[in-house]
A and B are shown apart, each in its own frame.
Chain A
Amino acid sequence: MAVIKTEDLTYVYGEGTPFRKVAVDHVSLSVEEGEFIGVIGHTGSGKSTLIQHLNGLLKPTEGRVLIDGEELWADKARLQAIRFKVGLVFQYPEYQLFEETCYKDIAYGPKNMGLPENEIDRRVRETARLVGLSDDVLDKSPFELSGGQKRRVAIAGVMAMEPKVLILDEPASGLDPKGRSRILGLIREYHKEKKNTVMLVSHSMEDVAKHCSKILVMNKAKVFCYDTPAAVFGRAGELERIGLSVPQITRVFARLKAMGCRVDDDVYTVGYGREMLLGALSKQTANERESEA
């Protein structure tokens, strides 16, 4: 059964005012358990609005959202419980830190879930280890940390709730390249270890290409496509037309193929590209040797 399902989900900001704006337009999708979904789209395409529906922060103007087969908003009293199933990390989550110590801040979510003290402690320590925060950082005030550290504390705060689905809105934005790959790495690590469903919103095709099982491309409030990375990047021309670029390495290979090299053009990670190139090269040398002999 799909862990997340939306049916004709539509959301309109400022209904009945001159500033009316359809931010999500008849979006229907389903996410299976254990998947790693990448969500991409131009700025303003409705990604953030869409994901805020998935744990009941926004109420759909039209359509339905089902989590584990249970309809959100059918019973308002159940909303809280469903929110614990779908953890949402907002963009720039470090702005939500407020406790005296990082430990307490990470414990805020689990505490709201009403967990016993020892379970909270286990979860805080485990997620802190997962995101790479040492014990002495846990006792510091979150306001003393560096930007990247703050970000990791904030993400840990949601991970510690151990949601079935973890959704992150541009978790790497505003960080330097090292910080970026570190955050993305720890999310991948989390997915591997917990086998939970993860949804990652990002601007960067490269980030999404590397470890997603499926990619959702949003364009102007609508779903442009929702498919495997290979299928999505196969439509490079269309993607470019809506202002999104495929990963650089994919473009390199498309160009190589156009120039007559015998390579596939569904390459979207550098690692796979290297294998492909080496394979093609060794085949070529073998051929040359044959023709010499």
Chain B
Amino acid sequence: MLKDITIGQYFPGNSPIHRMDSRVKLVLTIAYIVLLFMADNIYGLLIGIAFTLLMYTISRIPPVMMLKSLKPIIPIILITSALNLFFIRSGEVLVKWKFITITREGVDTAVFMTVRIICLIVGTSLLTYTTSPIDLTDALERLLSPLKKLRVPVHELAMMMTIALRFIPTLIEETDKIMAAQKARGAQMETGSIMKRAKALVPVLIPLFVSSFRRAEELALAMECRCYHGGEGRTRMKQLKTSAVDYIAIAVMAVFIAGVVVVNHLTKGA
């Protein structure tokens, strides 16, 4: 049950995409989102699809993962396409039956929006598939570091996120263990009314809180023992460095964006 929740869907690997600087990956992901929103017709989106497929091929992430990333947003896709299909009333009428009218423009927009959302999710998922959560927070910290001038505690926030990410699997494991132990003492967590089940959670939550506090204290002590005193003057063991792969990736991205601009222009001219 609990074990099935994947947090940080990182797929370890050694493809060029995995080796990219996480900062560049993050920025390019944002550029990719911009690309999707720049495309103002389905042909522009085809370029987005081509880009996504190319990146998945290079990264050697199993293609099923694309479908997996879509699973949680299926309701959103369905609602969006339904809204577009039934509520756009302009353009050539295709179907008219009682109060339902479906127009050509409605169909076009529904397809366009659906493809755009799918591209958006599948494409951005690649970032989390190929970057470990820790690298991602690192990249965020570096990219947001100008905000330090505005007294935003960027380092502290990033450290908090890193620690939280580090302890999520530990907490899940511990929850599993405590749940098993209380079940062995007859706690009913899978059957009974909602109230009953909620009550059965108390014996799980209390030990979990107790051990989390103990763990936090131990960790703080261990950090202090190693002279941790915040971000000031701290150097890094893992330096983020851009390399050839990153420049190639930036160039490829630029080409695809240019492609979208051209397609937009051509279809407008037509």
The answer to whether the Cβ of B178 comes within 8 Å of any Cβ in the partner chain is yes
Q: Which residues of A contact B2 (CB under 8 A)?
A: none
What mask results when residues 22 to 55 of chain A are scored 1 for a CB within 8 Å of chain B, else 0?
Answer: 0000000000000000000000000000001001
Binding-face segment, B19-27, B99-107, B185-193: B185-193
The answer to whether the Cβ of B76 comes within 8 Å of any Cβ in the partner chain is no
B178, B183, B185, B207: which contacts A157 (Cβ < 8 A)? B185
Q: A52-B180, A90-B177, A95-B178 are in contact. Are A109 and B211 (CB under 8 A)?
A: no
A93, A95, A158, A161: which contacts B211 (Cβ < 8 A)? A95
Q: Which residues of B contact A84 (CB under 8 A)?
A: 186
Complex A-B, nearest 9 residue pairs according to Cβ-Cβ distance, in ascending order:
A112-B186, A98-B206, A109-B185, A96-B181, A88-B184, A90-B181, A98-B203, A57-B180, A98-B207
Smallest Cβ distance from A146 to chain B, in angstroms? Answer: 15
The answer to whether the Cβ of B227 comes within 8 Å of any Cβ in the partner chain is no
The answer to whether the Cβ of B202 comes within 8 Å of any Cβ in the partner chain is yes
Smallest Cβ distance from B254 to chain A, in angstroms? Answer: 35
Closest to B177 in A: A90
Q: A95-B178, A98-B203, A98-B206 are in contact. Are A109 and B183 (CB under 8 A)?
A: no
Q: How far is the CA of A57 from the CA of B189 in the complex (A)?
A: 12
Smallest Cβ distance from A4 to chain B, in angstroms? Answer: 15
A55 touches B184 (CB 8 A): yes
Smallest Cβ distance from B225 to chain A, in angstroms? Answer: 22
Smallest Cβ distance from B8 to chain A, in angstroms? Answer: 14
Closest to A97 in B: B207
Q: How far is the CA of A246 from the CA of B266 in the complex (A)?
A: 82
Q: Which residues of B contact A109 (CB under 8 A)?
A: 185-186
B184, B188, B203: which contacts A57 (Cβ < 8 A)? B184
The answer to whether the Cβ of A83 comes within 8 Å of any Cβ in the partner chain is yes
The answer to whether the Cβ of B124 comes within 8 Å of any Cβ in the partner chain is no
Q: How far is the CA of A157 from the CA of B203 in the complex (A)?
A: 13
A90 touches B183 (CB 8 A): no
The answer to whether the Cβ of B210 comes within 8 Å of any Cβ in the partner chain is yes
B184 touches A87 (CB 8 A): yes
What mask results when residues 117 to 158 of chain A are scored 1 for a CB within 8 Å of chain B, else 0?
Answer: 000000000000000000000000001000000000000011
A–B pairs, 13, beta carbons within 8 Å: A57-B180, A83-B186, A90-B177, A90-B180, A95-B174, A95-B178, A95-B181, A97-B207, A98-B202, A98-B206, A98-B210, A157-B185, A158-B185
Apart from the given pairs A95-B178, A98-B206, 20 other A-B contacts in the complex at a CB distance below 8 Å: A52-B180, A55-B184, A83-B184, A83-B186, A88-B181, A90-B180, A90-B181, A95-B174, A95-B207, A96-B178, A96-B181, A98-B203, A98-B207, A108-B203, A112-B187, A113-B186, A143-B210, A157-B185, A158-B184, A161-B185
The answer to whether the Cβ of A248 comes within 8 Å of any Cβ in the partner chain is no
What mask results when residues 99 to 114 of chain A are scored 1 for a CB within 8 Å of chain B, else 0?
Answer: 0000000001100110
Q: Which residues of A contact B206 (CB under 8 A)?
A: 98
The answer to whether the Cβ of A181 comes within 8 Å of any Cβ in the partner chain is no
From A83, A90, A98, A161, name the one whose CB has the most chain B CB atoms within 10 angstroms. A98
Closest to B181 in A: A96
The answer to whether the Cβ of B80 comes within 8 Å of any Cβ in the partner chain is no
Closest to A143 in B: B210
On chain B, the number of residues with a Cβ less than 8 Å from chain A's Cβ atoms is 18
Q: Which residues of A contact B185 (CB under 8 A)?
A: 96, 108-109, 112, 157-158, 161
Smallest Cβ distance from B195 to chain A, in angstroms? Answer: 16
The answer to whether the Cβ of B182 comes within 8 Å of any Cβ in the partner chain is yes
Smallest Cβ distance from A67 to chain B, in angstroms? Answer: 14
Q: How far is the CA of A96 from the CA of B182 in the complex (A)?
A: 7
The answer to whether the Cβ of A61 comes within 8 Å of any Cβ in the partner chain is no
A80 touches B181 (CB 8 A): no
Q: Which residues of A contact B203 (CB under 8 A)?
A: 96, 98, 108
What mask results when residues 159 to 187 of chain B are scored 1 for a CB within 8 Å of chain A, else 0?
Answer: 00000000000000010011011111111
Q: How far is the CA of A112 from the CA of B188 in the complex (A)?
A: 9
Q: Which residues of B contact A98 (CB under 8 A)?
A: 202-203, 206-207, 210
Q: Which residues of A contact B183 (CB under 8 A)?
A: 57, 83
Q: How far is the CA of A167 from the CA of B174 in the complex (A)?
A: 20
Q: How far is the CA of A90 from the CA of B179 in the complex (A)?
A: 11
Smallest Cβ distance from A170 to chain B, in angstroms? Answer: 13
Q: Which of B216-249 contact A (CB under 8 A)?
A: none
Closest to A86 in B: B184
Closest to A96 in B: B181
Closest to B174 in A: A95
Q: How far is the CA of A76 from the CA of B180 in the complex (A)?
A: 16
Smallest Cβ distance from B203 to chain A, in angstroms? Answer: 5
Q: Which of A65-103 contact B (CB under 8 A)?
A: 80, 83-84, 87-88, 90, 93, 95-98
Smallest Cβ distance from A119 to chain B, in angstroms? Answer: 15
From A57, A90, A96, A161, name the one whose CB has the most chain B CB atoms within 10 angstroms. A96
Q: How far is the CA of A108 from the CA of B202 in the complex (A)?
A: 12
What mask results when residues 245 to 269 of chain B are scored 1 for a CB within 8 Å of chain A, else 0?
Answer: 0000000000000000000000000
Q: How far is the CA of A109 from the CA of B186 in the complex (A)?
A: 6
